Amino acid sequence: MIRFDILTVFPEMFVSPCGCSLLKKAVDRGLVAIHLHDIRGHADDKHHMTDDAPYGGGGGMVMKVEPIDRCLQSVPLNGADVPIVLMTPQGERFSQKMAEELAGHPQLILICGHYEGVDERVRKHLVNREISIGDYVLTGGELSAMVIVDAVSRLVPGVLGNSESASLDSFSMGLLEYPHYTRPAEHRGWEVPEVLLSGNHREIEAWRRRESLLRTWKRRPDLLRERVLTAEEKRWMAEGFE
């Protein structure tokens, strides 16, 4: 069971992604809880302002510290070391390894930044972590928070069925996944590799490991740099995958 508390000025953005597929099932089964907190509800002026012009001038708007602070204080904390995360392109880069680490916590608090940025005091005094989902800039932290919710939730025990087990995923294994096929065996002359129809499980398993390695070598050679190859894998590499 994991609880996400998401602080946002656009809670409605989360309704559809959390309301379908495996995430909805996980929520319905009580394995994942998603609590949305509208930062705007904690703005105390009559216009419910959550942003203001930057000190020192310049373009854009900056998210104010007080509504975020008050909103955060309204969130019940489940323990002393709850990650309180600011979603920002300046944060630590999100990865499968980080998803695994985060999935070990009973609660995650995600703050979605917006506009030109967030008052620096949020970063300095209110959060204990900053995460980026990649080297590009989104219009706000909502989509990146959804990415965290999705990637972490599927690692919570019981969310995936056995057959979809996360332990064999790309990245968990340090390799990209092998190609998948399903019926029909032939479509417009495009055939399924013979070995997959053979029923020989040892050969199928070896083919899949080889394809996985080949694909990683071609597409993401950086992943192989960190990997200790088995003798068989070294042989495949030496043979150049003929």
Nearer to ligand ADE, 106 or 134 (CB): 134
220 is catalytic: no
Is 8 a binder of ligand ADE (CB under 6 A)? no
Dist. CA 86–CA 92, nearest whole Å: 10
In three-state secondary structure terms, 193 is coil
Nearer to ligand ADE, 111 or 175 (CB): 111
Instruction: Provide the token pair at 103.
Output: 């999935």
List beta partners, residue 111. 7, 86
Nearer to ligand ADE, 134 or 158 (CB): 134
Is 89 a binder of ligand ADE (CB under 6 A)? yes
Give me the helix-helix angle, 21-28 and 142-153, nearest 10°: 70
Q: Which stretch binds ligand ADE (CB under 6 A): 50-58, 77-85, 133-141, 177-185?
A: 133-141
List beta partners, residue 4. 34, 108
Dist. CA 78–CA 75, nearest whole Å: 9
Q: Which of 104, 134, 158, 193 binds ligand ADE (CB under 6 A)?
A: 134
- Residues tagged active-site: 89, 116, 154, 169
Positions touching ligand ADE (CB under 6 A) are 87-89, 113, 132-134, 136-138, 141, 144
